[in-house]
Amino acid sequence: MSERSDSTPPPRRSTPPAADAKRGTPLPPRSSGSREPLVCPPPPADLPASDPGAQALIERARGLPTTARLDDAFFRSILDHLEDGVYVTDAARRVVFWNKAAERITGYRADEVVGLSCSQDILVHVDEHGAQLCGGPCPLAAALSSGDPHEQDVFLHHHDGHRVPVRVQVQPLRDDADRVVGALEVFRDNTNRLTELRKIEELKAFAYLDPVTGVGNRRYSELTLQARLDELRRYGWSFAVLFIDVDNFKTINDDFGHEVGDRVVRMVGRTLAGSLRTFDFLGRWGGDEFIAVVPMQLDSMLPPLADRCRALAEQSSLQAGGRTMHLTVSIGATMARASDTPEVLIARVDELMYQSKLAGRNRVTLTPARG
């Protein structure tokens, strides 16, 4: 292969004004370091040219110099190899380009979409609450109106009828006079991302929930105690704590095994959860011990609540080894004080529970009411 004998570059080839109409409209460079602008593919030949936005795209496509645009087939090939869906609209929001990934993510072929408005029973974006964005806070319409990029998490309408979660990013397209003549939208299937987020939420739940009973675990209980004490000192929001222990639990474990022991703990946990109000907190402190953290303004409200927990636990039972097992619990209960720490509060209520054990079990022991 021979080399050129001189270093003079060949003259640039110019393109007459009536250039091939299949060439595109230049987009703004993605960054200041871009050497060549991206090009917007032309609208279809039958796209109405009466609209100013469509006309601007057509005229710019016909008059663009060859040196300022990429080869149309090469350009389309690049976009068709992207994993993200890409489509381009004119100023009237009519679709003029639709890549292969857009077909895959939405189920709509390019020939079903090009020339139509994006809101004509195509994507019909809705937000997470199901509210339609077309005709309202649509990211593409916002980009065309403001001239600024927009992005949003939305759910698009798939050809088969279901909704697909996508992350939408819209970039307005401008002509030489800096007028917005269209927009480019890139969207990515967010299904995997949402699955990952759900998994994260599940892991968070596992980190704070007891796997046997489904109520809060020791860590969640400690965090809740500290948070309620902070609120008591800052806002004066009073609360009570109940420390609940299953009576004769060691005997149950020894006689029936740990599997039955877990069933007992699960039954007691569910019974206690049903005894409390929806805004009360119940956690498994460890083994057969539970704590309840209950917002409470009046000391007089604590005795009936604590006794309800005791009485409902007494009326619970399960079948094991051909026997019906009736269980009881011993409870200590106290109002929290602003001077308490979690450790001091737990020590006090644990001692009250122990007094219930010494007094014969299946009872509640409380601190004296505040004066």
What local confidence, expressed as pLDDT, does residue 5 receive? 44
What local confidence, expressed as pLDDT, does residue 369 receive? 63
Q: Is 157 left (phi over 0), alpha (psi -120 to 50) or beta?
A: beta
What local confidence, expressed as pLDDT, does residue 121 receive? 63
* 288 in active site: yes
Q: Which domains does the chain have, with CATH numbers?
A: 25-194 (3.30.450.20), 209-366 (3.30.70.270)
Check 189, 247, 288, 340 and give the catalytic one.
Answer: 288
The angle formed by the CA atoms of residues 76, 79 and 84, to the nearest 5 degrees, is: 155
pTM for this predicted structure: 0.51
Q: Are 284 and 225 in contact (CB under 8 A)?
A: no
Alpha carbons 275 and 313: distance in angstroms, whole number = 9
User: What percentage of the chain carries pLDDT values higher than 90?
Assistant: 42
Alpha carbons 334 and 309: distance in angstroms, whole number = 15
Q: Are 126 and 163 in contact (CB under 8 A)?
A: yes
* pLDDT beyond 50 at 53: no
* pLDDT beyond 50 at 20: no
Integer CA distances (angstroms), 237 to 23, 220, 336, 343, in order: 70, 20, 10, 19
Q: Which two tokens stand for residue 301?
A: 């409200």
* pLDDT beyond 60 at 36: no
Rounded to an integer, the average pLDDT of 182-192 is: 84
The H or E element spanning position 85 is: strand 85-90
* pLDDT beyond 90 at 231: yes
Alpha carbons 48 and 66: distance in angstroms, whole number = 25
* Each residue's pLDDT tens digit, 127-150: 777 777 876 678 888 888 899 998
What local confidence, expressed as pLDDT, does residue 66 receive? 42
User: What percentage of the chain carries pLDDT values higher than 70?
Assistant: 77
What local confidence, expressed as pLDDT, does residue 139 receive? 86
Residue-averaged pLDDT of the chain: 80
Region of poorest pLDDT, from 11-25, 77-91, 151-165, 301-315: 11-25
To 10 degrees, the CA torsion angle through 110, 113, 114, 118?
-130
Residue 283 pairs in a beta bridge with 216, 291
The full DSSP string for 260-329 is HHHHHHHHHHHHHHHHS-TTSEEEEEETTEEEEEEE-S-GGGHHHHHHHHHHHHHT-EEEETTEEEE--E
* pLDDT beyond 80 at 233: yes
Q: Which two tokens stand for residue 226?
A: 């500290």
| Of 60 and 122, more confident | 122
* Each residue's pLDDT tens digit, 238-288: 999 999 999 999 998 888 899 999 999 999 999 999 889 889 999 999 999
* Each residue's pLDDT tens digit, 322-362: 888 889 999 999 999 999 999 999 999 999 999 999 999 99
Integer CA distances (angstroms), 255 to 114, 250, 261, 262, in order: 75, 9, 10, 13
The H or E element spanning position 24 is: none
